[in-house]
Amino acid sequence: MYLKRQIAKFFTLSFMAACLFFISLTPPAHADDYYVDIEYGLDGNIGTSPGPGNAWKTLHHAFTYVNGDDTVYMEAGIYDFTIEDNSTLIDINDNNVTIQGDTNGGTIIKGDPAQTTGWTTGIRINNAAGVIIRNITIRDFYSYGIYITNSSPEISDNIFVNNDAAAIYISGDYGTASPSITNNLIYAEVSTAMNIGILISASGTAPDGIASPEIYHNTIDGGLQSGIYLSNNGGVTVSPYIKYNNITGFSNGIDNFASDSPVIDYNCLFNNTDYNNITGGSNDLPGEDPLYENPASHYYNLQSVSPCIDAILSTEADTDIDYDLNGNPRPSPSGGDYDMGCYEFQQTEPPANNPPDAPETGNPSDGDIFDEGTTSVTLQSSPFSDPDGSDDSHSSTEWRVKREDRGVYNCEDYDTSFNQTYTSEVGPLTSHTVSGLVSGMQYVWQVRYQDSNEEWSPWSDEYRFIVGTSAEDSSVQIQGSTDIASYRMVSFPLWPDDALCTTFFNDEIDGTYDTTQLRLGTYTVQTGGYIECNDGMPIIPGRSYWFLSRNNLDVDVSGIQVATDLDVEIALQYNTTSGNGWNMIACPNAVDYDWSSVQVLVPDGSGGTTFGPTDISDFPEDNSYIDIQLWRWENGAYQDDTQTMTHHEGYWVNARTENIYLRFRADMAIADSGQNRTVFAKALYRAKNRIKNQAKKWFAAITDIRQAVASGETPPLPPGVHDEPETEKSGCFINVAAKP
């Protein structure tokens, strides 16, 4: 008896263990996601995660477990139904089931291309809501690729090939079928391999039996009978929305054997009898070749000149489909209009147009001199060059010229030739004659080119030329000395033959600037100190320079005298960070001026002014532009009662803001015996201003340099000199000249 009980117990335990073993291999009944991999899966796996050892092998096996709300992810590969389950279709009867192929393509459900009898279908959706079929190629089924009955699934981003009766069959059979059919490519490799692209029918008794799909952005090509076929049986409704499709290569593009009127618009129909028993939409393109890239190889992307590109106005599109079959964005470019068919032509932004290369000048060369009396010069520039090569051509040239003393282009009183633009229609494009030139002036010019895409090149470098005759100037004599009082502020009112200090004074320094023999420099607000001859200092008319020499020097320099019959301007420096505006200035040409008649102006950069010109005599002491005192160095100290500016001498003035210019009017120059000027007019002007200045107490008779009226400051002391009592040591030239 005991033995029987033990045997019974053994078999009971063995049976339970076997049950537990098989239960452990059974997948959960209601998993959300399942994975199928025809290449590496096994139907004996659990199926709830991807990859070898986890995914199932066949779709049919997966659907023995799929319930409502589940998703089946299919890896790329060929799922051959003739091998999987003897051509049994996949039947979906539950709501919200999704079959998702590989988004990179290559997921293929395949029927039997040799079948010639019977009816086989790839996937059937029957009385189910919320089903999604996406990113799958469905091919070679003898009846239908997908058969939809009384359901409203989303069929998007799929490819249907050689499905004999129809790629997609939509049936409202005593029920409602309203699927969304979007972004699908449907074609036959030979016309006899597909009869109809999309078949839509309804049957039953009204009000039952409704077929109203949305058929948007599909490309349907190359079947035997109809791209889209509509039929009904009885008083039921067939009312699809057929929009944004390309339908090509059928006997009939759209066949209507239903009694209803579908909504049709924005379709391209070509190489068909486009409409049968139906009227096309007002925005259709009947008879227009969509210009596929290579239809013979079933490559249905649009050529760049396709009429289907941008054929759907963004304001008219009633679709929220924002990508195409390839996953590219719709529309392209963003914010534009939509294309017809399943592919959106990707209108990449055209490559940025590169500007032309900056021109190089040819003539005149920088620093060229033209004879006295020359009034016009022809400028020439290099041939047009553009990094875009032959895609761009030379369409326009702009020339601009300015006077060196003014520093700005486009002044109102310049000759019109100083700013000129030529187009290719009127030319020439690489030469220009500038007129209105005056002897004794240096001019600056630039040129730039525009290409055929309206892009301007950078301006060329600035190049200079002078009009006049170079002559020697021996007006400056330096008396040798070793004390501070012998420092001289001097200037050179000419355009130097070579403006570099060491070259300009080559004879005086004998090729080497030796600070134990002389000191020569000018002030800069950028550093708040002096630059000297060996620092690359330029010689500029209108600027003054400290000169101190151990030995007597007759300074002989050469250049072109600055014009005296023009209003000449000089720019003042100002450091916006430090507020330093001290400038060493001079008469810009070889005539004298009343300081009170010199004018102040602020250019606007476009040829006009934002202030002035206004005479110094009209400024109050507390103005925001300039200290009205003009300082000179005399007997080792500064004096601020200067009224007359003498040419070849130097002075200090303090600017209170940036971009200040001084204008020296030709008609206000003080006449001398060697000049044919209206002496009486000048004298009268000076007398008037002396009376006005006396009334305003404009120039105070102050000899102590520490009592500067306007600013409470005096100019910087000469190079190497410090604000300390002068002793024999501090006044010694050797100490001054050698001190940094």
* DSSP state at residue 543: B
Q: What's the rounded Cα separation, in Å, for the pair 62 and 680?
A: 115
**Partner residues linked to 538 by β-bridges:** 500
What was the pLDDT predicted at 729? 37
The position carrying tokens 């600056």 is 444
Closest CA to 425 of 451, 449, 396: 396
User: Is residue 450 within 8 Å of residue 439, measured between CB atoms?
Assistant: no
Tokens of 144: 């239908």
The residue type at 723:
D
pLDDT for 318 equals 80
At residue 350, the pLDDT reads: 67
Residue 519's pLDDT is 86
Position 172, amino acid: G
In this prediction, residue 728 carries a pLDDT of 38
DSSP-derived 3-state class of residue 496: strand
Phi/psi of residue 301, each to 5°? -60, 155
SS3 710: coil
Q: Which of 246, 250, 251 is nearest to 266 (CA)?
A: 246
Per-residue pLDDT at 733: 41
Q: What is the pLDDT of residue 46?
A: 94
The secondary structure of 325-363 as a DSSP string is TTS-BSSSSTTSPBPSSS-----PPPPPPPPPPPP-EEE
Buried b vs exposed e over 317-350: b needs ≥16 C-beta within 10 Å? bebebeebbeeeebbbeeeebbbbbbbbbeeeee
Kindly state the tokens that stand for 133.
């079929």
DSSP 8-state secondary structure symbol assigned to residue 56: B
Please work out, in degrees rounded to the nearest 5, the angle formed at the alpha carbon of residue 122 by the alpha carbons of 119 and 125: 100
Question: Quick one: pLDDT at residue 109?
Answer: 95
**pTM for the full model?**
0.57
Spatial neighbors of 376 by CB under 8 A, at least 6 apart, are: 417, 433, 434, 435, 436, 437
Angle at 648 between CA 501 and CA 414, to 5 degrees: 85
pLDDT reported for residue 291: 97
Give the position of tokens 């800069």.
Answer: 524
Q: Tell me, what's the pLDDT at 672?
A: 57
5's CB contacts (< 8 A; 6+ apart) are none
Tokens of 465: 């030329």
H or E stretch covering 23: helix 2-25
Burial 383-412 (b: 16+ CB within 10 A, else e): ebebebeeebebbbbbbbbbbbbbebbebe
Task: Say if residues 613 and 567 touch (Cβ distance below 8 Å).
Answer: no
Scanning 667-707, the segments in alpha helix (DSSP H) are 679-696
Mean pLDDT by 10 residues, the chain (740 residues): 40 42 43 90 94 93 94 95 74 96 94 84 95 97 96 97 97 95 97 95 86 97 96 87 97 90 94 94 96 95 96 87 94 91 86 89 87 96 91 93 93 94 88 96 96 94 95 90 87 93 82 83 94 89 93 90 96 95 96 96 90 95 94 93 95 96 95 45 46 39 38 79 46 42
